[in-house]
Amino acid sequence: MTESNSFSRSSDIIFRFGLDPTLNRILVLTALSESDHPLRAKDVYEDLRQRHKLNRVTVYRILDLFAEKGVVSKISSGERSFCYCACFGRWLQGHCHFHCTRCGKVECIDKDLLPLDEEALKNRLSMDVQHIELRLDGVCTSCKAKGTTRAGARKPS
Ligand SMILES: [Zn+2]
Ligand SMILES: [Zn+2]
């Protein structure tokens, strides 16, 4: 996809969620949607600042606004650490994520692998469900390939 295509797509999505498609917002959403896995706010910022004049606070604020409005999913990846996933173009909302407890990487998991009947769930619970987050924790493929080396691994809590 060419840059201008991703730009106009990001702009459309932002607009559809009732937000103003400002240049900074478009840049942030484009960076997220071009990644094949969810990104930390820090990663988005590091990626963008190489090419654009954006400060860290702006990037963090935009990501939180997107998460609040449902443009992207905010996924917890360990204590006090979060990743952001641009749900569009991949699988729509409702897919879950895998978090590697060794390297900390977060990956998207195809919705079909963990089907969740959101309607049935909402109908059977008396609570008002507004958001569902499913996270699988474990060891990712590349850490598994590295075998039993546990350097840098967190102590199991
Ligand atoms: Zn890993
Ligand atoms: Zn995802």
Ligand found nearest the CA of 137: 1
Residue 141 lies in a domain: yes
Instruction: For residue 156, tell me if it sits in a domain.
Output: no
How far apart CA 4 and CA 40 sit, in angstroms, is 24
Query: How many Å apart are CA 39 and CA 83, to the nearest integer?
Result: 5
How confident is residue 157, by pLDDT bands cut at 50, 70 and 90?
Answer: very low
Among the bound ligands, name the one nearest to the CA of residue 92: 2
With a CB cutoff of 8 Å and minimum separation 6, the contacts of 120 are none
DSSP structure class, residue 87: -
Residue 22 contacts residue 66 (beta carbons within 8 Å): no
Ligand nearest to C-alpha 142: 1
Structural domain range at position 116: 3-145
Is residue 151 domain-resident?
no
Taking the C-alpha atoms of residue 83 and residue 64, their distance in angstroms, rounded to an integer, is 11
Expressed in angstroms and rounded, the spacing between residue 109 Cα and the centre of ligand 2 is: 7
CA of 120 to the centre of ligand 2 (A): 22
Q: What is the pTM of this model?
A: 0.76
Decide if 64 is inside a domain: yes
Q: Which ligand is nearest to the CA of 133?
A: 2
What spacing in Å lies between the alpha carbon of 41 and ligand 1's midpoint? Answer: 19
Number of domains in the chain: 1
pLDDT at 102: 93
Each residue of 29-74: pLDDT tens digit?
999 988 888 999 999 999 999 999 899 999 999 999 999 888 888 8
How many A from CA of 87 to the centre of ligand 1? Answer: 22
Question: Concatenated DSSP letters for 38-68?
Answer: -EEHHHHHHHHHTTS---HHHHHHHHHHHHH
Q: What is the CATH number of the domain that holds 52?
A: 1.10.10.10
- Tell me which residue of 138, 127, 133, 1 sits closest to 72, measured CA to CA: 133
Confidence of residue 113 (pLDDT cuts 50, 70, 90): confident
19, 42 Cβ separation under 8 angstroms: no
Average pLDDT, the chain: 84
